[in-house]
Amino acid sequence: ARCSWPPPSSGSSAATTSCGSTSSPRRTRPRAASVRPAAELRDLLLVAQRLGSEWQEVGIACLGLPQSRLEQIGEERPQRAVLRTFEMLREWRRRQQGGATAARLRDCLRGAPVDPEVLELLQGM
């Protein structure tokens, strides 16, 4: 469930990874160490504060979110990069339908050009 970095070309907005929607028939069990949802808003905000300016690329390539939804988030929050990233993570969490754990998010972000501190933070959650 690693990030497929670099992201697909802008012509393809339907890039899906195993970190995208849980509507696929294949389900994986979260690791026992991180069964609690990473989906607590405070945790997502901490991650958002540490993700870089490539939030849209991470959303498409690593989290499997549609480019159109990320563009909508960007339009809703044009001046606050952290809030755009936070909203992206909330969208990922919503689409996971209960499967959004810190371990799953960490696996999704592996291979992405994110600060190693992000992965360390998720490891500790």
> Which CATH number does the domain housing residue 60 bear?
1.10.533.10
pTM for the whole structure: 0.74
pLDDT at 58 over 80: yes
Q: How confident is the model at residue 6 (pLDDT cuts 50, 70, 90)?
A: low
- Looking at the structure of the chain, the number of domains it has is 1
pLDDT at 4 over 70: no
Q: Is residue 13 domain-resident?
A: no
Domain range holding 84? 40-123
The pLDDT value given to residue 113: 83
pLDDT at 19 over 80: no
**Would you say 88 and 63 are in contact if contact means Cβ atoms under 8 Å apart?**
yes
CB atoms within 10 A of CB 15: 19
Q: Is residue 48 domain-resident?
A: yes
Q: Is residue 30 domain-resident?
A: no
Cα distances from 41 to residues 38, 83, 93, 102, 110, in angstroms, run 8, 12, 10, 12, 21
Measured between alpha carbons, how far is 6 from 29 in angstroms, rounded to an integer?
27
pLDDT at 57 over 60: yes
